[in-house]
Amino acid sequence: MPRDEAKSSKSPTTSAKSNRRQFLDTTTATVAGAALAGVAATKAGAQEKADVPKVFAGGSDAIRLALIGCGGRGGGAAVDALSVQGAPLKLVAMADVFKERADIVRRSIGEQFEGKFDVPDERVFVGFDAYKEAIDYLKPGDIAIFATPVAFRAPHFAYAIEKGVHTFMEKPVSIDGPSTKRIIELAKKADEKNLKVGVGLMCRHCDRRQELYDRLQNGEAGELMDFRGYRMHTPAQSPELFPGPPEGVSEILWQIRRFHGFLWASGGIYSDYYVHHIDEVCWMKGAWPVTAEATGGRHVKGKMDDQNFDSYAVEYTFPDGTKFFYSGRHIKNCDQKFGVFGRGTKGAFTISASGHSPARCAIYKGQAEDKDKLLWTAEQPEPNPYRREWEHLVDAIINDKPYNEAVRGAEASLATAMGRIAAHTGKLVTYDGLLNGDYDLTAGVADFKADSPAPVRLLADYTYPVPTPGKFKYEYND
């Protein structure tokens, strides 16, 4: 049952916890030695089992990285990777559809990581096929980092698997049923080749949330009754940007640059922003939702036009009837709120209080979330989950441990898409119905070129088609 995958404490992320701790607690010098021992063990294992391919770049002292999608998070992920202590990681190739984006990240990482950075001009690849050139430069057992908008996740992942390269891919990994199925199918192929796959749902790698999960499992909050979450802040982009591409930029590249505004590219702000919160709750609950019902609307748009609502109110229902209420709002001059919470029969609890990190998890005695009613609160400071997810992935690669977060990432992405589509259509969305449906926003992206027609066309009145509940079969079309 895919819904059971939400119980990630049984996932590869934590199943090898003690080994990992051993790896991470050791001094840098010893860890480097252990890493090399890991290579030898992998090679020996591969010799014994002819069908298990080598997963570490044998003959080389470095695991080489290619960064595909060199924006804010791509740069951050590369920094997190290169910061893993005692691991022989080196960034050797970069790819983006905009050269200037790659240049910014290249300059900044080159300055910070001398000795772990070797990306000359000829290894900065530009264009829609740049990911292939960057991955072609890697050897089997190296790592490709995918931090483009989600639309490109499946074709990029497929190519990495074909080339025998491990993957770290940013969330979300899918935005509808068919894209979710593609990732799940590819995950099986990655397993067949013994490739490791990390997904950037870093909250799953948060030590304090893990402790909260264990405490909830031990019944400290009683039986879990309901959950709620909020992401309410000012819009990420200025509402005064006029729609449509500026002179000299193709419509398709414009939509990619402003991917949060276009459902085909990102699943909109709902899929791109809310997936962490939805995944955190599903983890604590130990299940994926079976249905989502939602409302939402567009109230304040300025001159900017995109395909998002600026308010969402969603009710998810889990298989046992437990509810999860999620609210999103992106309007200026309103109260801001960011976090996920729950209530058990014995007391309320905080999964994350005001940001992704630190989580500041807590359990209360009773339902009032008062500081003087605390049963437990997470120790501070907290390890950085963006670093921890890389430590876990690299440990799995070096020590050849089972590690594939792609299916769980796809299921979390599907659960997220349920809420978005329910709000945009005004119809109840089921997990199975969406997964097995034919609504495919990213069909054909693998063949995109800089002058391809954009998946969404600017209308004659200089607006983009907008989801309208009750009007369309899908979000903004039939």
The answer to the question of residue 202 lying near ligand NAD (CB under 6 A) is yes
The answer to the question of residue 116 lying near ligand NAD (CB under 6 A) is no
Residues numbered 163 to 192 that lie near ligand NAD (CB under 6 A) are 170-171
The residue count for binding ligand NAD (CB under 6 A) is 26
The answer to the question of residue 68 lying near ligand NAD (CB under 6 A) is yes
Q: How far is the CB of 456 from ligand NAD (least distance, A)?
A: 15
End-to-end Cα separation, the chain, in angstroms = 31
Q: Annotate 129-167 with three-state secondary structure.
A: CHHHHHHHHCCCCCEEEECCCHHHHHHHHHHHHHCCCEE
Judged by CB under 6 A, the stretch of 34-42, 141-149, 285-293, 412-420 that binds ligand NAD is 141-149
Q: Which residue is nearest to ligand NAD (CB)?
A: 71
State residue 374 phi and psi, 5-degree precision. Answer: -75, 130
395 close to 401: Cβ distance less than 8 angstroms: yes
Residue 254 or 325 with smaller CB distance to ligand NAD: 254
Q: 408 Cβ partners below 8 Å, 6+ apart?
A: 5, 6, 8, 11, 199, 201, 204
Residue 168 or 309 with smaller CB distance to ligand NAD: 168
Which token pair is 100?
Answer: 């200037």
- 10 Å CB burial of residue 462 (0-12, 13-18, 19+) is exposed
CA dist., res. 311 & res. 327, Å (int)? 8
How many Å is the Cα radius of gyration of the chain? 22
Q: How far is the CB of 106 from ligand NAD (least distance, A)?
A: 12
Sign of the Cα pseudo-torsion (382, 397, 105, 113, in order): positive
Q: Name which position in 200, 235, 328, 455 contacts ligand NAD (CB under 6 A).
A: 200
Judged by CB under 6 A, the stretch of 91-99, 213-221, 236-244, 406-414 that binds ligand NAD is 91-99
Q: Name which position in 149, 342, 344, 358 contacts ligand NAD (CB under 6 A).
A: 149
Alpha helices in 147-231 (DSSP H): 153-162, 177-192, 207-217
Q: Name which position in 23, 56, 113, 131 contacts ligand NAD (CB under 6 A).
A: 131
Residue 400 or 405 with smaller CB distance to ligand NAD: 405
Q: How far is the CB of 290 from ligand NAD (least distance, A)?
A: 25
456 close to 445: Cβ distance less than 8 angstroms: no
Q: Name which position in 74, 86, 235, 261 contacts ligand NAD (CB under 6 A).
A: 74
Which residues of this chain interact with ligand NAD, rule CB under 6 A?
68-74, 95-98, 101, 128, 130-131, 147-150, 152, 170-171, 200, 202, 256, 272
